[in-house]
C-alpha cells in the first residue's frame, strides 16, 4: 500500500475542513432564505447542517462571525458574476457600474433579500462591514467627479436594496425592478454619449 505523504495528508485534511465550512455556509443561506432571517440562530443553522451546535461553534464562534463569512462568500460570488459580465472588455467606472446593475437585475428577489439581510445584520459591527465599504468605494468614488448621473443611478439601486433589507419600505419586486431598469437606462445613455463623442473626435482628426 502506498503511504500518503505528510504534505498530501495535510491537503486532504484541509480540504475536509473547507467542505465542512461550506456545508455550514450553505445551511446558513438556507435558513435565511426560508425564514427571511427571522429565525437565523446558531441552533437553526446547526440543525439545518446536520451537526451539533458545538460543532458549529467550533468553526464559527459567534453568530456575527457566521453572518460575516456568509456575507463574504456572497460578495465574492456577486463580484465574480460582475467580472464575467464585463467579458474581458474595457473596465472603466461606467462599464463597471453597468455590469453591477445588470447583475443586480439578474438576481432573483430571494437572493436579493438574503444579501440585504447579511449586510444589515452586521450594522452593529462596523468593522465587519469594511469589505462592503471597500467594494462601494471602488464602485462609487471614481464616478464622483465626472459621471454624476451614473453615481446617482447606483445610489438609487443600492438605496432601495438597503431600505428593503432594513424593512423600512415594503415595495414590490416589480417596483424594485423598475428602479433598476431606469438606473440601467441612465448608465447606457451615458455610455452611448461617450462613445458618440469618441467617434466624433476620431473623425475630426
pLDDT at 60: 94
Q: Quickly state the pLDDT bin for 15 (edges 50, 70, 90).
A: very low
Q: Would you give the distance in Å from CA 174 to the centre of its chain? A: 20
Residue 185's contacts (CB-CB under 8 Å, 6 or more residues apart) are none
pLDDT at 34: 84
Distance CA 28, CA 87 (A): 31
Distance CA 76, CA 136 (A): 14
pLDDT at 20: 84
**Residue boundaries of the structural domains of the chain:** 7-61, 70-203
pLDDT in tens, 35-83: 777 788 999 999 999 999 999 999 999 999 999 999 999 999 999 999 9
Residue 57's contacts (CB-CB under 8 Å, 6 or more residues apart) are 42
- What fold characterizes domain 7-61? Arc Repressor Mutant, subunit A (1.10.10)
Mean pLDDT, all residues of the chain? 85
Residue whose C-alpha cell is 462601494: 136
Distance CA 60, CA 21 (A): 9
How big is the chain by its Cα radius of gyration, in Å?
A: 21
Q: Quickly state the pLDDT bin for 154 (edges 50, 70, 90).
A: very high
Amino acid at each position: 500500500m502506498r503511504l500518503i505523504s505528510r504534505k498530501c495528508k495535510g491537503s486532504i485534511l484541509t480540504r475536509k475542513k473547507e467542505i465542512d465550512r461550506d456545508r455550514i455556509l450553505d445551511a446558513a443561506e438556507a435558513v435565511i432564505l426560508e425564514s427571511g432571517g427571522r429565525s437565523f440562530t446558531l441552533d437553526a443553522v446547526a440543525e439545518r447542517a446536520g451537526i451539533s451546535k458545538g460543532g458549529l461553534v467550533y468553526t464559527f464562534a459567534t453568530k456575527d462571525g457566521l453572518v460575516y463569512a456568509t456575507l463574504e462568500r456572497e460578495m465574492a460570488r456577486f463580484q465574480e458574476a460582475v467580472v464575467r459580465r464585463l467579458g474581458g472588455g474595457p473596465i472603466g467606472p461606467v462599464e463597471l457600474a453597468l455590469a453591477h446593475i445588470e447583475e443586480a437585475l439578474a438576481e432573483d428577489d430571494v437572493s436579493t433579500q438574503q444579501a440585504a439581510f447579511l449586510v444589515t445584520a452586521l450594522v452593529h459591527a462596523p468593522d465587519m462591514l469594511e469589505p462592503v465599504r471597500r467594494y462601494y468605494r471602488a464602485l462609487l468614488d471614481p464616478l464622483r467627479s465626472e459621471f454624476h448621473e451614473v453615481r446617482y443611478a447606483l445610489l438609487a439601486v443600492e438605496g432601495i436594496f438597503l431600505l428593503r433589507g432594513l424593512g423600512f419600505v415594503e415595495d414590490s419586486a416589480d417596483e424594485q425592478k423598475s428602479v433598476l431598469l431606469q438606473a440601467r437606462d441612465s448608465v447606457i445613455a451615458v455610455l452611448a454619449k461617450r462613445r458618440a463623442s469618441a467617434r466624433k473626435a476620431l473623425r475630426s482628426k
